[in-house]
Structures are given as C-alpha cells and as structure tokens.
Amino acid sequence: MQTGILGIGAIGQLLAQQLAAAGLEPWLLPRANTPSLAEQGEKQVYTLELGDQSLQTSFLCLAQDSSKLKQLELLLVTVKAYQVEAALEPLLPKLHPNCRILLLHNGLGPHQSLAAKLNGRPLSLGTTSQGALKLSSNHIRQTGSGLTQIGDLIGAPMPEVMKTTLLNAIPGSQWSDTILEALWQKLAVNAVINPLTAIHRVNNGALAAPEFEGTICAILDELLQVAKQEGIALTFDALHARVKEVIRLTAANYSSMYQDLKHGRKTEINYINGYLQQRAEQYGLTLPINSELVAQIKALESNLL
Ligand code: KPL
C-alpha cells in the first residue's frame, strides 16, 4: 500500500514512524512553502523519541511535482485545518483518480469545501488524540498515546486491506462507521478546552474548577443546537462527560490553541467555535458564547501576528 503524508509536523512524523514500524514505506510531502523544500526528492532521516528510546527512520520526501505522486493509493493529510485546502488543491490533479484522501486535523470544515473538488476520489476522515511535540524539523517526541478514529465519508468504502493495515499500524486506532459523530464529539472537546485555556492562559486541568462549569455547559448547549440541525446524534450528558474526562486525562497539557497563541501562530478557531458559528448562521441560530470566544481569540491573534 503506497501511502503519502502531506504535512510533516509532529503528527505527520509520528504517523510516518508508526506506518514504517508496521513495515510500510510512507513518502513524505512537505507543504509547498516549507523550508525543507530544498531537500525534496531525497531520503531524510527522522527521529522519534519514545520514553527513553530513540528511533531513527529514513523517509523519501517527494517534491510537489514528483511523478511518484500518481502511485499513491492513500494520502494522509496532517496539516492544520486552515492549511488543508491550500496544501491539497495543487496536488489533486497530480494524484491517481482512485487515490484516497484521509483528513486528520482538529476542527471541521475542510471536508465540506473539498467535497466538490475531489473528482470522484474517495474521502475518509479521522481524528487522533495521540500527542507529539516537534523538537526540531526532523525530530519529534511522542508525548501521549490516545484514541485514533477513522471512517469513510465520501465515495467508495476503504478497502479492507487498507483498513486493517492502518488500524494495525496506528496504536489505539479504531474504525468508526459514524465518523462525523466522532468528529463532532472531538469538536465539542476542542470547542471547550482550546479557547478557554488560551484566553485564561491555563493548562487543561484548570478547567475542572467550578468557575468554568457554567461556560462549559453553555458552549455545549449551543453546539448541540447546531448538531441537531445537522442531524448529528449527540447528547448533553455524553458530551459533558467526555469533555470532563479529557480535562482530567490531559490535565497537565497546554492545549494546541494556548500553544499557538503563545508562539505567535494562527489558531484553528475558525474551524472549531468559528465552524459552529458559521453552521449556526445557515440555520438562523445565534450562538452568543461561542461567538464571544471566537471574537476573543481573534483579538488575541491579531495582537500577536
Ligand atoms: O486536542 C486537543 C488540543 O489541544 O488541540 C486537546 C484534546 C484539547 C488536548 O490538549
């Protein structure tokens, strides 16, 4: 199974290492404007720190115009939500008409804008709670294990052999026949934890304090109003329990949005609370709490960028 990984950030490198450990030889595709462009077309050594082990693997890095792109059967897209369209669109005409695209990012949105541009290529979606930290361009540390869920969204179902290969290679992964529901559950977790930790400059665990309870419930109530319109079956109790569990399990972590702002990077707010706001508008709903969070994060972003 010839696999490509678009975006070689921490999660892209982690998945590449996991696929390689399972005997696959994934090719890496840096985004077009990344500094490693000069190294494309060559094999590069990547290092994974896992506990006290250090694992080195070489991967072929493909140039954006490589004729090998046509050989890909599966392309894992691990760039940030706001980079998906710009990173993927120039590649689409160079991919085989049957090449399956698998999007793995926080938030929702790109699956809808891409749907019309795939020209019949099958689309699968995934979400991962595995944690990895980029130490330098070719060097990561795995910081946490966690559930990865994958499922089909558009077009032909994923062939059994591809499914088994992926699920065997990625530790803690499972197939989901209702992947959109799984992604909405993850959206709820991110809609609560990411903006609140970024605004209050606290770690995830701080959100267990009683003072946050009212806001957490209000965010989830608004999300449920939109999910209902979208035909996504979720319940308040299940979402609330899931959010509380993630707050407990990742108590010492600083959310990706906290870290994005801390390092002066753009956040994924438009694809998390902003996605909810945008879908709500379609249904004539207003989401005061989520809209306020979007405004506050954008204000913080514009002070830093
Ligand atoms: O996905 C995350 C993120 O930070 O983006 C959570 C689950 C909130 C863990 O920090």
Confidence of residue 40 (pLDDT cuts 50, 70, 90): low
Q: Please give the Cα distance from 100 to 124 (Å, whole number).
A: 7
Q: Which of 62-66, 137-141, 185-189, 281-285 has the lowest mean pLDDT?
A: 62-66
Average pLDDT, the chain: 94
Angle, in degrees to the nearest 10, between helices 179-200 and 288-304 = 60
Does residue 1 have a pLDDT over 80? yes
Q: Are 222 and 292 in contact (CB under 8 A)?
A: no
CATH class of 181-303: mainly alpha
Mean pLDDT, residues 59-73 taken together? 94
Ligand 1: lining residues by beta carbon, under 6 Å? 106, 129, 189-190, 193-194, 204, 246, 250, 253, 255-256
pLDDT, position 130: 87
pLDDT, position 39: 57
Confidence of residue 36 (pLDDT cuts 50, 70, 90): low
Q: What share of the chain is helix, strand, coil (3-state, %, to 5)?
A: 50, 20, 30
**What are the helix and strand counts (H, E) for the chain?**
10, 11
pLDDT, position 143: 85
Q: Please give the Cα distance from 104 to 214 (Å, whole number).
A: 31
Residue owning the nearest CA to atom 6 of ligand 1:
255
In 61-172, the DSSP E strands lie at: 74-77, 100-104, 123-128, 131-136, 139-144, 148-154
CA 255 to ligand 1: nearest atom: 4
pLDDT, position 151: 98
User: Regarding predicted confidence, which is higher, 37 or 245?
Assistant: 245
| CATH architecture for residues 3-176 | 3-Layer(aba) Sandwich (3.40)
pLDDT, position 42: 82
> Which stretch of DSSP H or E encloses residue 173?
strand 173-175
* Percentage of the chain exceeding pLDDT 90: 88
Per-residue pLDDT tens over the stretch 77-119: 999 999 999 999 999 999 999 999 999 999 999 999 999 999 9
Q: Which residues are catalytic?
A: 186
Q: Are 207 and 197 in contact (CB under 8 A)?
A: yes
> How far, in Å, is the centroid of ligand 1 from the Cα of 206?
14
- Environment class of residue 166 by beta-carbon count within 10 Å: exposed (0-12), middle (13-18) or buried (19+)? buried
CATH 3.40.50.720 region(s) of the chain?
A: 3-176
CATH 1.10.1040.10 region(s) of the chain?
A: 181-303
> How far, in Å, is the centroid of ligand 1 from the Cα of 193?
7
